[in-house]
């Protein structure tokens, strides 16, 4: 179980505290816990924290943490929305945007704080986790398309067990390729490598 506190922080933001491993959801505009992509994103931080205590102690590791949360948010929404009879993301025309409902009150359309289909590459880094996070998460969605969601999700989560708390994009990408090779063989490993190479992540051969 993951303890959460909702609407108890007077700021329009949310975070995981590692003191008690609690997720705190803020309020303001659309209260954060009202957006399932916000809740899934913060849960992504809890997953990282459970897998590798202290994860995110470098800028690139922190960016991967933000990126995984955004990927998880969009992937969960993809599964959760159709059974409720509404098209995925009916409110905005951006299937690859995370927390766009939370953002409707404080940004211009299209509403999103982050997207997972950015064309940014490793050369675009500016050493800020909430910006550099758009470099990493293009790869899991690319794998999500081919070989498919199950391979992408299982490979991504299993690989994260092997990430150092202060991992670099390069080391994490290498671990993810090796995990795909171990779990699914050469075809999957090649797809993962190609996805990270498209983001110009260094060190992949």
Between 25 and 196, name the residue whose CB sits nearer to Zn ion. Answer: 25
Whole-number minimum distance, CB 44 to Zn ion, in Å?
7
Angle at 102 between CA 125 and CA 43, to 5 degrees: 70
- Cα–Cα distance for residue pair 28/15, rounded to 1 Å: 15
DSSP β-bridge partners for residue 17: 22
Coil/strand/helix, residue 79? helix
Q: Of the two residues 60 and 66, which places its CB atom closer to Zn ion in the complex?
A: 66
The span from the CA of 77 to the CA of 79, in Å, is: 5
Nearer CB in complex with Zn ion: 98/177: 98
CB 160 within 8 A of CB 189: no
CB of 45 to Zn ion, least distance (A): 6
Which residue, among 44, 40, 43, 38, has the nearest Cα to 26 in the 3D structure? 38
H or E element: which one contains 104? none
Q: Name the residue among 40, 125, 43, 24 with its Cα closest to residue 74.
A: 40
Binding site residues, Zn ion, CB under 5 A: 66, 69
Q: How far is the CB of 78 from Zn ion (least distance, A)?
A: 19
Shortest gap between Cβ of 66 and Zn ion (angstroms)? 5
Residue 35 or 66: the one with the smaller Cβ distance to Zn ion is 66
Minimum distance from residue 9 beta carbon to Zn ion (Å): 14
Which is closer to Zn ion, CB of 18 or CB of 190? 18
23 bridge partner residues: 4, 16
């Amino acid at each position: 179980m993951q303890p959460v506190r909702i609407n108890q922080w007077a700021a329009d933001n949310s975070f995981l505290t590692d003191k008690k491993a609690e997720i705190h959801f803020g309020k303001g505009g659309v209260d954060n816990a009202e957006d399932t992509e916000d809740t899934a994103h913060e849960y992504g931080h809890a997953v990282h924290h459970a897998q590798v205590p202290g994860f995110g102690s470098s800028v690139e590791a922190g960016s991967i943490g933000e990126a995984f949360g955004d990927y998880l948010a969009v992937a969960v929404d993809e599964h959760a929305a159709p059974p409720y009879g509404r098209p995925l993301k009916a409110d905005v025309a951006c299937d690859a945007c995370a927390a766009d409902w939370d953002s409707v009150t404080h940004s211009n359309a299209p509403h999103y704080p982050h997207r997972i289909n950015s064309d940014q590459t490793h050369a675009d880094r500016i050493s800020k986790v909430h910006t550099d996070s758009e470099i990493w998460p293009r790869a899991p969605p690319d794998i999500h398309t081919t070989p498919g969601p199950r391979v992408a999700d299982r490979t991504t989560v299993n690989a994260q067990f092997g990430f150092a708390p202060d991992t670099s994009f390069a080391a994490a990408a290498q671990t993810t390729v090796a995990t795909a090779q171990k779990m699914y063989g050469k075809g999957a490993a090649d797809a993962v490598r190609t996805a990270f190479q498209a983001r110009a992540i260094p060190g992949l051969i």
